[in-house]
Amino acid sequence: MEKEIEKKFLLYFRLMLLCWILIANAILHIINFEYSWLIFISNIMLFTMSGDIKERFLSVELGGLVGLVLTVLTLLAVSALSKVIGGLFGFLIPLAVVLFLLIIVHPYAPKVLNNVGFAYLTCACIDIPAFSTHIPLFIGTFIVGSLIFNGVAILLMKPAKALAIKNVTKGQA
């Protein structure tokens, strides 16, 4: 019975999540918001990580924020160092420091130094001019957008579970 409930829960939850993703995308499209990736990457990470949902939520939110802050610090360091020691080492030294933090220090602080931060660092650097001219917008969008979007996604789990239990127990009566 538990396996059947889990199977139904996943089906109902995925259908609810699909609707929520479409609703959020429709709203963002209508308002012509171009940085929605900041919201949706966090959701992808939330549901591809393992462990307790509350722990994953915390890791996604903290990791993403740390990734964006590390991006800002890296760009500032690259800009400053490149003028002093040249472009190559001015780029490689800050990159080495950030990668050291995300890869080597990760086991000691996995909630804040994780793959989510790495993903946000990577994606934010795809368009450095856009990121560097809209830093408050990027960080604000991540914080507010991911908290709202992921919060609603997590809240959908409860009715999906209740519906699954109701459906399975009704079918067995």
pLDDT, residue 1, reads 79
No. of helices (H) and no. of strands (E), the chain: 9, 0
Question: Is the pTM of the predicted complex or chain greater than 0.85?
Answer: yes
For residue 172, what pLDDT is reported?
74
Residue-level pLDDT, tens digit, the chain, 173 residues? 789 999 999 999 999 999 999 999 999 999 999 899 999 999 999 999 989 999 999 999 999 999 999 999 999 999 999 999 999 999 999 999 999 999 999 999 999 999 999 999 999 999 999 999 999 999 999 999 999 999 999 999 999 999 999 998 886 76
Number of domains in the chain: 1
Pull the structure tokens for residue 11.
Answer: 């089906």
Instruction: Measure CA of the first residue to CA of the last residue in the chain; give whole Å.
Output: 12
How far is C-alpha 118 from the chain's CA centre? 10
The length of the chain, given as a count of residues: 173
26: which residues sit within 8 A by CB, 6+ positions away?
Answer: none
Distance (Å) of CA 66 to CA 29, 55, 114, 115, 169: 27, 16, 9, 11, 44
What letters, b where the CB count within 10 A reaches 16 and e where it falls short, cover 125-149?
eeeeeebbeeeeebbebbeebbeeb
Kind and range of the H or E run holding 12: helix 2-30
| Alpha carbons 72 and 78: distance in angstroms, whole number | 10
Which residue range(s) make up the domain with 24? Answer: 2-172
Q: What is the reported pLDDT for 173?
A: 61
